[in-house]
Amino acid sequence: MDLTKLIRENILELQPYSCARDEFQGEASIFLDANESPFETGLNRYPDPLQKALKTKIGALKQIATENIFLGNGSDEAIDLIYRVFCEPKTDNVVAIEPTYGMYKVCADINNVEYRKSSLNADFDINADDVLQKTDAHTKVIWLCSPNNPTGNSLNADDIKKILENFGGIVVVDEAYIDFSSQPSWAKKLADYQNLIVLQTLSKAWGSAAIRLGMAFASETIIQTLNKVKYPYNINILTQRQALLQLEKRDEIMQQIDCILQQREMLSRELRLLKIVKKVHPSDANFLLVEVENANATYGYLTKRGIIVRNRNNVALCGNCLRITVGLPHENEQLLAQLKRFEEE
């Protein structure tokens, strides 16, 4: 597969901005090259534009070479960059499953790229043939999200494989919730698929939504092109430092994931016992998609009592569904208690 054929011509030819930290790397005692303040504040120097220390740490943790890692200001930066690198506005298109994470569509609209939808079935299973049928010569990217938001389920691995092997463009698998899933990560398959981009994030299981750090894993050509287009200092030094500290806490995070998985099963079990609950969809993530008798009324009742869930009533295939994030044990207990009260009223 010739990846350069997929990259927009202006991006292929782009001479990227060369910053001071690109032109000199290494140890020195006096830095007079970047017009920074010489007065030490702990923050007076520009950060590493390619975040080498952080990538080394992430690479060791995930068993991925640093050359195959891109870091973004949240996964959202990677999503936007994928459009800007591969999709010619008003000409190219992308295909995504429906329903799924809203940012794929928003970034398509911002970049003036046609967004085609392939509906999941009533059990939220993907139809690989339908996804492939929706593509044409101008389809550059297929967006897959597994475990999927807001449905919570993992997409069937054979279907993802079929799409990877039968589509001549980029296939993105967004694994924001992979740490809660029993399925293996597609990042293990990077060597097999030149056209695969796997997205992960520190925003969910790693407890760091506020620092904005997203990861894209892909072939070297794709990573180098994303690096060419990104802002030179896209990951600030506070984020780089905090991420390095947080990634040291692997054992603690694993315990938190265990707790969330136990709570997810407890919540799922207890919710099913409520008469107002029609269905609790199976989840491989840290949230449950719950179909109730009346989502708007249930949402309103909970909100008045200070409990905020996500009302997905207006999302395709999610009529009367609430998306409920698994919280701390006492938070989940309060949610259940209020839902019981609502049912009895």
Binding positions for ligand PLP, rule: CB under 6 A: 74-76, 101, 145, 149, 174, 176, 201, 203-204, 209, 214
Residue 40: partners with Cβ closer than 8 Å, 6 or more residues away:
none
CB of 129 to ligand PLP, least distance (A): 24
d(CA 342, CA 239): 42
Token pair 């990227």 is at which residue? 16
CA atoms within 13 A on the CB side of 205: 26
CB of 102 to ligand PLP, least distance (A): 9
CB of 286 to ligand PLP, least distance (A): 10
Residue 205: partners with Cβ closer than 8 Å, 6 or more residues away:
177, 179, 180, 253, 256, 257, 260, 286
Sheet holding 287-292: strands in order across?
Answer: 277-280, 287-292, 321-325, 310-311
CB 296 within 8 A of CB 262: no
Nearer to ligand PLP by Cβ, of 204 and 264: the residue is 204
CB of 204 to ligand PLP, least distance (A): 6
Nearer to ligand PLP by Cβ, of 21 and 208: the residue is 208
The neighbouring-strand residues paired with 70 are 216
Nearer to ligand PLP by Cβ, of 149 and 283: the residue is 149
Nearer to ligand PLP by Cβ, of 8 and 204: the residue is 204
Question: Residue 14 class from Cβ within 10 Å (0-12 exposed, 13-18 middle, 19+ buried)?
Answer: middle
CB of 149 to ligand PLP, least distance (A): 4
CB of 175 to ligand PLP, least distance (A): 8
Nearer to ligand PLP by Cβ, of 79 and 163: the residue is 79
Residue 16: cis peptide before it, omega within 30 degrees of 0: no
CB of 181 to ligand PLP, least distance (A): 12
d(CA 250, CA 207): 11
Nearer to ligand PLP by Cβ, of 75 and 185: the residue is 75
CB of 194 to ligand PLP, least distance (A): 23
Nearer to ligand PLP by Cβ, of 149 and 195: the residue is 149
**From residue 96, how far is each of 49, 101, 105, 286 by CA, in Å?**
31, 10, 9, 22
In one letter, which amino acid is 310? R
Residue with the shortest CB distance to ligand PLP: 74
Nearer to ligand PLP by Cβ, of 68 and 100: the residue is 100
